Amino acid sequence: MLAEELPLNETFTSFQGEGPYAGNLAFFVRLGHCNLHCPVCDSKPTWDTSQYSLDETCPPTDMVEVRHKAKLSKARFLILTGGEPLIWQARPAFTKFFNIPRMKTHVETNGTLAPLVRTMEGIEHFTVSPKLSTMGAADPRKRRINPEALERFRELAESGRACFKFVVATPFDLDEVREFARLYKMTPDSVWIMPEGTDADVLIERQQELAERAARMKFNFSTRLHILNKQR
């Protein structure tokens, strides 16, 4: 790839569907490649070479052009997602998303890679989604959990620049989140619970099952607006 290029799966303008910024109009940049292999991932074209040719699903793309599209979108936020976008943070092209006039740039990450100093300077907010035993079952714990990176994100969370979002399917998963948060000293107000589901009916059922229990644990709770807005 050239210096100004990164592998790009797609761009689109929509409402942020989940987490603390849900409902805000955003321009999404979905970059290719990931260092994890989650069985329930809804973005497998960004990494799953057993099903896709990444040369076709994530071709090298000029990020100067992507930055221009973002500015034209009139969205208030730019969301870097993937895949795992922080794989590319050392490349010059990654900085094209910093300091875009009238836009705030956020990153959605699996929390295995610590942000570089220049990344922390250029990104306003990080949504960190560690993969616990159910969601990250395809990878060993030592691959999906990086204590040093989590400590960096915890420090950012203390200043309001990061949060931890856990995708859960069962009450058992919630118990694991509580223990994980205790182990890595995450305050409950920095933790968001999001039910797993790519179908509206499944999502609603799990919300009803999990929301009250999450509240008792003093965690935040998020639905997935982009799933609920699909035609049922």
Q: Is the per-residue pLDDT at 16 higher than 70?
A: yes
Q: Is residue 158 part of a domain?
A: yes
pLDDT band, residue 77 (cuts 50/70/90) = very high
pLDDT band, residue 17 (cuts 50/70/90) = confident
pLDDT band, residue 226 (cuts 50/70/90) = low
Q: Is residue 161 part of a domain?
A: yes
Give percent above pLDDT 90 in the chain. 69
Alpha helices in 126-224 (DSSP H): 141-144, 147-158, 171-183, 200-216
Q: Is residue 60 part of a domain?
A: yes
pTM of the entire structure?
0.92
Q: Is residue 138 part of a domain?
A: yes
Q: Is residue 208 part of a domain?
A: no
Q: Is residue 23 part of a domain?
A: yes
Q: Are 197 and 225 in contact (CB under 8 A)?
A: no
Q: Is the per-residue pLDDT at 147 higher than 90?
A: yes
Give percent above pLDDT 70 in the chain. 93
Please state, in angstroms and rounded to a whole number, the distance separating the CA atoms of residues 209 and 200.
14
Show Cβ contacts of residue 132 under 8 Å, excluding neighbours closer than 6 positions.
166, 173, 176, 177, 180
Query: What is the pLDDT averaged over residues 14-28?
Result: 89
Strand boundaries in the chain, DSSP class E: 5-15, 25-31, 60-62, 77-81, 104-109, 125-128, 162-168, 191-195, 220-221
- Considering only residues 199 and 164, tell me which one the structure prediction assigns the higher pLDDT: 164
Query: What is the pLDDT averaged over residues 127-150?
Result: 88
Q: Is the per-residue pLDDT at 228 higher than 60?
A: no
Q: Is the per-residue pLDDT at 84 higher than 50?
A: yes
pLDDT at residue number 64: 97
Domain that holds residue 62: 5-165
What's the number of domains the chain is made of? 1
Q: Is residue 40 part of a domain?
A: yes
Query: Residue 83: is the preceding peptide bond cis (ω within 30°)?
Result: yes
Query: What is the pLDDT averaged over residues 185-212?
Result: 81
pLDDT band, residue 7 (cuts 50/70/90) = very high
**DSSP helix/strand/coil, 206:** helix
Q: Is the per-residue pLDDT at 197 higher than 80?
A: no
pLDDT band, residue 198 (cuts 50/70/90) = low
pLDDT at residue number 231: 42
* DSSP β-bridge partners for residue 194: 167
pLDDT band, residue 232 (cuts 50/70/90) = very low
For residue 69, what is the domain's CATH number? 3.20.20.70
Please state, in angstroms and rounded to a whole number, the distance separating the CA atoms of residues 184 and 37.
23
Q: Are 181 and 217 in contact (CB under 8 A)?
A: no
pLDDT, averaged across the chain = 90
